[in-house]
């Protein structure tokens, strides 16, 4: 039996339909500007788990997948729902949506940002830093230092905006140790 013949069996068609429904709901959410990520992820993961489970039953010669279909469907639906929920929570926690983007605005002295260019030096505008505010606006600004070189990914503090060159003077914040990061993550900072 070829793989396509295996996919055409009735017990796999349900999972193919769930996968197609997940992809269509993701596309529909993009078109309608709605967040259907949780539903789409749960459906697609359910389909992948169900097809994999049926394939394992078939390939390992554990019997015919047809009689086990209700158990495979229930197990893959539960696992798909849990994995979809976990992915949705991970995405909403670590990848917040961006509502707007603003470039080089003055008036953000004292804000903590992250350097997103290879480095920043004493030349005004030699680096860029960004941060996202509570409304979802991503701010990108030109930065420079008072002389030292700062590398990519460093946290910096915006000190003073120089209007003549439209660049913030920044100070590199001390690197956090791993234990401080895990404490901040546990406390919700």
Q: Domain containing 153 — which CATH number?
A: 2.40.50.140
Number of domains in the chain: 2
What distance separates the 2 farthest-apart alpha carbons in the chain? 76
Q: Are residues 12 and 28 in the same domain?
A: yes
Q: Are residues 42 and 115 in the same domain?
A: no
- Domain limits for position 145: 100-187
- Distance (Å) of CA 176 to CA 48, 113, 127: 39, 14, 21
Residue 133 or residue 77, greater confidence: 77
Half-sphere exposure of 62 (CA within 13 A, CB side): 12
Q: Are residues 32 and 84 in the same domain?
A: yes
Q: Are residues 125 and 154 in the same domain?
A: yes
* Report for 28-32, 67-71, 171-175: range of highest mean pLDDT: 67-71
pLDDT per position as a tens digit, 10-56: 889 999 999 999 999 999 988 887 888 889 999 999 999 999 999 99
Per-residue confidence band for 115, with pLDDT thresholds at 50, 70 and 90: very high
Q: Are residues 14 and 52 in the same domain?
A: yes
């Amino acid at each position: 039996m070829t793989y396509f013949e295996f996919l055409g069996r009735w017990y796999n068609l349900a999972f193919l339909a769930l996968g197609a429904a997940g992809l269509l709901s993701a596309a529909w959410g993009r078109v309608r500007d709605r967040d259907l990520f949780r539903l789409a992820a749960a459906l697609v993961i359910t389909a992948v788990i169900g097809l994999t489970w049926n394939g394992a039953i078939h390939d390992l010669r554990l019997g015919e997948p047809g009689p086990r279909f209700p158990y495979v469907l229930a197990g893959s639906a539960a696992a798909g729902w849990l994995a979809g929920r976990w992915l949705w929570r991970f995405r909403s926690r670590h990848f917040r949506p961006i509502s707007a983007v603003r470039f080089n605005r003055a008036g953000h002295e004292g804000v903590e940002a992250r350097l997103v260019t290879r480095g920043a030096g004493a030349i005004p505008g030699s680096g860029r830093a960004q941060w996202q505010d509570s409304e979802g606006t991503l701010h990108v600004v030109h930065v420079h230092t008072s002389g030292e070189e700062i590398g990519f990914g460093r946290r910096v503090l915006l000190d003073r905006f120089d209007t003549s060159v439209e660049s913030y003077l920044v100070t590199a914040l001390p690197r956090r140790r791993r234990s401080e990061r895990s404490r901040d993550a546990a406390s919700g900072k």
